[in-house]
């Protein structure tokens, strides 16, 4: 997908959220992108940010894409070490 189209779509999402009076509009936009955009789209918009500084992205949308980029820098969460018994309940690890 072309970066111009992704920028347009991100700004449309931003327009929706800015009228929702959320406390952190950028985080809400980033969450929407995490949930509903294909990973290739997220990768492309982050590449656009890295290559152009986010040309065309408006206010909180720019910050939202920065948050997506920062997601890549965070270590993955570690899986739980607790075991489940056959009934689906957790066993006592001790």
The DSSP secondary structure of 25-90, one letter per residue, reads: HHHHHHHHHHHHS-HHHHHHHHHHHHHHSSTT--HHHHHHHHHHHHHTTSPPPPPP---B-TTSPB
Q: What is the residue-level pLDDT of the chain in tens, covering all 94 positions?
A: 899 999 999 999 999 988 877 678 999 999 999 999 999 999 999 999 999 999 999 999 999 999 999 987 766 543 444 444 455 555 555 4
Domain ranges of the chain: 3-71
């Amino acid at each position: 997908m072309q970066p111009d189209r992704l920028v347009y779509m991100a700004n449309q999402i931003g327009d929706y959220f800015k009228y929702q009076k959320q406390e952190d509009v950028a985080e809400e936009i980033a969450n929407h992108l995490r949930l509903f955009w294909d990973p290739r789209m997220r990768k492309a918009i982050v590449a656009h940010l890295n290559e152009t500084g986010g040309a065309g992205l408006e206010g909180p949308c720019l910050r939202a894409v920065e948050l997506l980029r920062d997601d890549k820098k965070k270590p993955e969460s570690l899986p739980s070490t607790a075991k489940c018994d056959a009934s689906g309940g957790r066993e006592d690890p001790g």
